[in-house]
């Protein structure tokens, strides 16, 4: 099989088999991590859940840390892509922020195992991957809010403070509803953020502009 054949068929049969096996391992590990936490999950348990020997598991991953890293990096990459694809760069900054928030909530709903890992683990653990993602989201939100300030859509507040409030509120609500076993309430989060932060900022700016025009 030449290189063109490999590309058209997604790699050699052996490569496809390896990818399929690794996918099964990551799925099994994700379910275990979400249910009982990373610390309490052993390589033996992951092997059993993936229906393979421990030796075969180690032939694909050197240890649990490597599984965690690949799982989180892959899942976070999917989350970022969902958020990026949800909005257009030509949209107003606040509209982009709303679209990104809604897309992230939808992604968590569709990938609850990933969500439980993301929110139950210490952000500083797992090589700080979760912490870096939270910081990335805060930075993106701050940049969009800064543009909203510049365009006069919201009052001249510190965009990083506003971003921290927005991201922190969304994370807190996600965790609260998950703890209550009420994942259906995830759909309410964008509306709550809209009422407590976005709309008041816009209304305050309109009021300020009205007073300036007098």
Q: What whole-number distance in Å separates Cα of residue 26 and Cα of residue 20? A: 10
Give the pLDDT mean for 2-23. 70
Same domain? For 129 and 196 the reply is yes
Spatial CB neighbours of 147, under 8 Å, sequence gap ≥ 6: 93
Same domain? For 83 and 53 the reply is no
Give the pLDDT mean for 86-109. 93
> Does 3 or 193 have the greater pLDDT score?
193
Domain boundary (61, 88, 103) is at 61
Q: Are 105 and 82 in contact (CB under 8 A)?
A: no
CA distances (Å), origin 72, targets 38, 81, 102, 110, 153: 12, 14, 21, 16, 36
| Position 30 pLDDT exceeds 70 | yes
**pLDDT at residue 154, as a whole number:** 94
Percentage, residues of the chain above pLDDT 90: 71
Same domain? For 11 and 86 the reply is no
Same domain? For 14 and 83 the reply is no
> Does 83 or 10 have the greater pLDDT score?
83
CATH code for the domain of 33: 1.10.10.60
**pLDDT at residue 172, as a whole number:** 92
Same domain? For 198 and 150 the reply is yes
Same domain? For 144 and 183 the reply is yes
Give the pLDDT mean for 125-148. 92
CATH code for the domain of 192: 1.10.357.10
Same domain? For 99 and 129 the reply is yes
| Position 214 pLDDT exceeds 70 | no
**pLDDT at residue 4, as a whole number:** 45
Same domain? For 89 and 7 the reply is no
- Domain hosting 138: range is 70-212
Between vectors from CA 73 to CA 5 and to CA 45, what angle results, nearest 5°?
95
Per the structure, how many domains does the chain have?
Answer: 2
Q: Are 100 and 140 in contact (CB under 8 A)?
A: yes
Give the pLDDT mean for 71-76. 92
Give the pLDDT mean for 112-137. 86
Same domain? For 43 and 77 the reply is no
Same domain? For 98 and 177 the reply is yes
Same domain? For 54 and 145 the reply is no
Q: What whole-number distance in Å separates Cα of residue 133 and Cα of residue 139? A: 10
Residue 206's pLDDT band, with cuts at 50, 70 and 90, is confident
> Does 85 or 123 have the greater pLDDT score?
85
Domain boundary (61, 87, 107) is at 61
Q: Mean pLDDT for the chain?
A: 89
Residue 209's pLDDT band, with cuts at 50, 70 and 90, is low
Q: What whole-number distance in Å separates Cα of residue 81 and Cα of residue 146? A: 22
Percentage, residues of the chain above pLDDT 70: 92
Give the pLDDT mean for 73-102. 93
Cα–Cα nearest to 144, from 82, 71, 209, 198: 198
Prediction pTM value: 0.83
Domain boundary (14, 29, 61) is at 61
């Amino acid at each position: 099989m030449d290189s063109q054949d490999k590309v058209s068929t997604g790699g050699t049969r052996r490569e496809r088999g390896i990818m399929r096996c690794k996918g099964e391992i990551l799925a099994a590990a994700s379910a275990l991590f979400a249910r009982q936490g990373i610390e309490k999950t052993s390589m033996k348990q992951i092997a059993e859940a993936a229906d393979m020997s421990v030796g075969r598991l180690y032939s694909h991953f050197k240890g649990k840390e490597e599984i965690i890293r690949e799982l989180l990096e892959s899942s976070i990459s999917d989350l970022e892509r969902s958020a990026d694809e949800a909005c257009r760069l030509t949209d107003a900054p606040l509209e982009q922020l709303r679209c990104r928030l809604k897309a992230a909530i939808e992604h968590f709903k569709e990938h609850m195992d990933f969500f439980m890992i993301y929110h139950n683990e210490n952000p500083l653990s797992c090589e700080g991957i979760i912490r870096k993602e939270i910081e990335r989201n805060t930075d993106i939100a701050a940049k969009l809010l800064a543009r909203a300030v510049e365009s006069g859509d919201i009052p001249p507040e510190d965009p990083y403070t506003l971003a921290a409030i927005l991201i922190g509120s969304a994370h807190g609500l996600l965790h609260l509803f998950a703890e209550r076993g009420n994942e259906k309430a995830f759909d309410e989060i964008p509306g709550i953020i809209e009422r407590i932060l976005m709309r008041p900022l816009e209304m305050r700016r309109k009021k300020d502009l009205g007073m300036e025009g007098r």
